Structure 1
Amino acid sequence: MPKSKNSPPLERLRHTLVLLTLVVLAGAVGYHLLSKLNYLDSFYMAITTLFTVGFRELGQVNNATKLFTILYLITGLGVATYALSNLTALIVEGDLQGYLRERRMEKRLQDLRDHVIVCGFGKMGFQAAWELKQAGVPFIIIEREANKGSKNPRFEGDIFLYGNAMDELILQRAGIRSARGLITTLTTDADNVLVTLTAKQLAPDVPIVARAAQLGMENKLKAAGADHIVSPYEIGGRRMAALLMNPNLMDMFDIVLNQDQLELGLERIQIHPSSWMAGKVLRDARMRDTTGCLIVGIRREGQGLHFNPQGSDSFEAGDEVLVMGPTAALKSFESQARGESEPPR
């Protein structure tokens, strides 16, 4: 029985072709028994009759053969027409392209690792995704509104997953367990709380950055499991005041954060116990000379963040070092901090 229109297009066509093959086989058997034809001639008659070619009739032509041909044509033409309509839909209506595109997206979803999930493609989600793209960080966008953003030239070729970000199945398809983080920028705080709760149930260790649309929602988002809360109105107000009170400082931060102006980054890098840096005094490590990085601060468990460390301070295993420098320098620092490379000579 042919599949419904909701079935995948290739599956519909496959089942239709199977049915068409069965009809041709039935016709060949019928002509073999009624017209006393060999198997090759029987298939010849079945195919030429079904597709109304009608060169000439072979074998015995009697009343039984005529009745069989009438029934065979009625049945076979219906199946052939249905198969042709499915093939037309695949080629003309774009079902095949859409199906293959969906298969390619599923393959890309399965291959995603160490990526960021952006929930919501509004103004904040758009900007967050754009920053990730400029930084070369792999990401996937979950958006409830179908086709929203997929035709934006800035995100051509990027992965859009259309569905409800609060749905466990959608988050699983987005690779929540292998993600490096999740950003939820949905319109309401209630939705962001639900996304956070759902994500933490599926992947308790994944870092989550959540938008707080209303002041006072920070505690609820924290309780739901969000690691960082961003309130656009609070941040906007602070920035507007800071631009008047200390514009030079804000300009410096803009230069650091804006990669279009200067290839400079700010990273938090942890010292691994196997790293040669563990236990080394900053003066002896000479990280600024060998990597080109500037050490802004060191965060040690139970001691908070120590800004502008002196040369007599030391690195310890487990320290989180706040480092500023070009991308290549940061990668070199991180490689040595993880114990993946030897100290420079």
Structure 2
Amino acid sequence: MRLFSLFKHKIYLAVILLVITLTIGVLGYKFIADYSWVDAMYMTVITITTVGFGEVVPLTPEAKIFTIILILLSVVIVGFAITVISEYILSRSSYNDLIHRKVQQEIDKMNDHIIVCGYGRNGQEAVQKLMAYNKQFVVIEMDTDIIEKYESDKNIHFVNGNANEDEILEKAGIDRASALLCALPEDADNLFIVLSARQLNSTLKIISRATAETSQKKLKLAGADNVIMPDRIGGDHMASLVVVPDLIEFLDNLSVVGEEDSINVEEIGFSQVCLDGKEATIKEINLRYRTGCTIIGYRSPSGKYIVNPEADMRIEKESKLIVIGRPEQIKKLHATFGI
């Protein structure tokens, strides 16, 4: 960035010198050669640019000497201006190419990352959540203006292009990714991306947004694991605030992400609570006594969810526990189990 700042100062200097030269030329031809203002401007421009047109009227000896001096002066200044502007354009292009190559090299090293298609409102919300959880991710965005606006954030890796194209998905490392989020505003675009992504990576977890009810089933058939309808969620949330306001406000205040001293809900896996690798019951791990957190949910290896599981339920391999607690209890949970 310091390089570009230096170039900008040189460009400003070149422009100032050109303006000064133009002013000297106009005033010189006006008062030395007794030209009109228009003729003086015309003679100055054709002299500085060395286009080779003839004089408006024959020059006096004094005007000829002035023209020689103006030509010599303008050759140096115009040459300087052209050099500075050319260097700035070439250096900026080279700098951008260097940055893009560096970003692509970092993407090529990623594994089990998340690909976010579209950096609009929904895409930005998704990225904020992923950043809060320290997840690796890549954003595919077609609008170069958006990329230029946000690419200064070193935590965001952009791939410029249309996510509908297999080549762009491959640049984002879809063969090594663990999940893909389709956050484009058009359902047709999301549908095409889901189809392409599922063909390129059969084990990929795909989550897509949808606007129309009819698109939900189509996206599922195309290979999406989950389909989110933001409008439905928003309307349902507003209605719930009328029907059961206290419950919804309580749930809204449960923090599942953010600073460590504000989290209330946590998800922990089998390997984190059963450090010896052996299956145990909820009672045997005694999470409540050891950390103060309460287990409110259990996800079996097959994906079945059980709310408020019994104490004698056995925690199987590849299962997960959903726990709730105050921030200090969650912090103790992290320390106890090394999360």
Shorter-normalised TM-score: what interval? 0.5 to 0.7
On the 8 A contact 1:143/1:161 being kept in 2, the answer is yes
What is the aligned counterpart of 2:223 among 222, 225, 229? 225
Q: Which amino acid aligns with 1:184?
A: C
Separation in 2, partners of 1:153, 1:253: 34
* Deviation at residue 93 of structure 1 after TM alignment: 4.9
Separation in 1, partners of 2:234, 2:148: 29
On the 8 A contact 1:118/1:182 being kept in 2, the answer is yes
Q: Which runs of 5+ in 2 are unaligned?
A: 1-78
Match of 2:93 in 1: 95
Separation in 2, partners of 1:293, 1:218: 37
On the 8 A contact 2:151/2:157 being kept in 1, the answer is no
Separation in 1, partners of 2:258, 2:272: 32
Q: Which amino acid aligns with 2:216?
A: E
Match of 1:52 in 2: none
Q: How does 1:123-142 map to 2 (within 5 A)?
A: 123-142=121-140
Look up the SS of the partner of 1:96 in the other structure.
helix
Separation in 2, partners of 1:182, 1:327: 30
Separation in 1, partners of 2:338, 2:227: 27
Look up the SS of the partner of 2:224 in the other structure.
coil
Separation in 1, partners of 2:113, 2:331: 19
On the 8 A contact 2:269/2:318 being kept in 1, the answer is no
Match of 2:333 in 1: 329
TM-score, normalised on structure 2?
0.65
Look up the SS of the partner of 1:94 in the other structure.
helix
On the 8 A contact 1:297/1:306 being kept in 2, the answer is yes
Q: Which amino acid aligns with 1:329?
A: L
Look up the SS of the partner of 2:146 in the other structure.
coil
Count residues in correspondence: 253
Q: Which amino acid aligns with 2:281?
A: V
Give identity over the alignment, percent: 28
| Residues 292 and 178 (structure 1), Cα distance of their counterparts in 2 relative to 1, 3 Å cut | farther
Match of 1:173 in 2: 171
* Deviation at residue 186 of structure 1 after TM alignment: 1.0
TM-score, normalised on structure 1?
0.64
Q: How does 1:190-229 map to 2 (within 5 A)?
A: 190-229=188-227
* Deviation at residue 264 of structure 1 after TM alignment: 3.1
Matched, 1:151 2:155: no
Q: Which runs of 5+ in 1 are unaligned?
A: 1-80, 336-345
| Residues 92 and 138 (structure 1), Cα distance of their counterparts in 2 relative to 1, 3 Å cut | same
* Deviation at residue 266 of structure 1 after TM alignment: 3.2
Match of 1:284 in 2: 284
| Residues 273 and 127 (structure 1), Cα distance of their counterparts in 2 relative to 1, 3 Å cut | closer
Match of 1:314 in 2: 314
Q: Which has the higher helix share?
A: 2
Match of 2:48 in 1: none
